[in-house]
Amino acid sequence: MDEKMKKHRLTFAFVILFFIIFYVIIYNNKAATERSESSLVLEDFGGITMAVQSVEGTKITVHINYSADDPAIFGADYILEIKKGQRWYSLPVKDGIMFTSIGYQLKKGDSLPWSTDFEILYGKLSAGHYRIIKSFRIEPQQETSKEYFISAEFLIS
């Protein structure tokens, strides 16, 4: 088997593993009927930025810029949180929702918009200060991959 095929299989395996882990996180959030204080640690990874480009109705579009040397992978999954006072709280997810197992690869210099309709997962949002969180897996050539969570804040009025 050639090196390129091995790399593709490894990337596919990481994407599948990522979605299994994310499903467990969502499943645990479903058990809570109320918002729970966020325990997610957002790490600053200078090679990737995400900013909210627009919020129209229940559709949010973020713009992702990638400048690191090693490739990254991200999926369709995301988390929404609401800010109350100085703390962030995870929003409960509707029952029976799952993400598709899709993986997007980012290379140095990539810049792209990514959109989702949050009503499908979270319903209509009331007025407030929110943030969308996405995870990215960085895949260095000779090291173990690492997952980062980054966020972008937005308001619903």
CATH of the domain at 129: 2.60.40
CA distances from residue 54 to 50, 51, 65, 129, 157 in whole angstroms, order as listed: 12, 9, 16, 14, 13
Q: Which residue has the tokens 């299989």?
A: 9
User: H or E stretch including 90?
Assistant: strand 87-90
pLDDT digits (tens, 9 = 90+) for 40-89: 666 666 789 999 999 999 999 999 999 988 889 999 889 999 999 999 99
Phi, psi of 19 (to 5 degrees): -70, -30
pLDDT digits (tens, 9 = 90+) for 25-46: 444 444 334 566 765 666 666 7
Q: Report the predicted TM-score, pTM, of the whole model to 2 decimal places.
A: 0.72
Tally the domains of the chain. Answer: 1
* Domain range for 17: 3-156
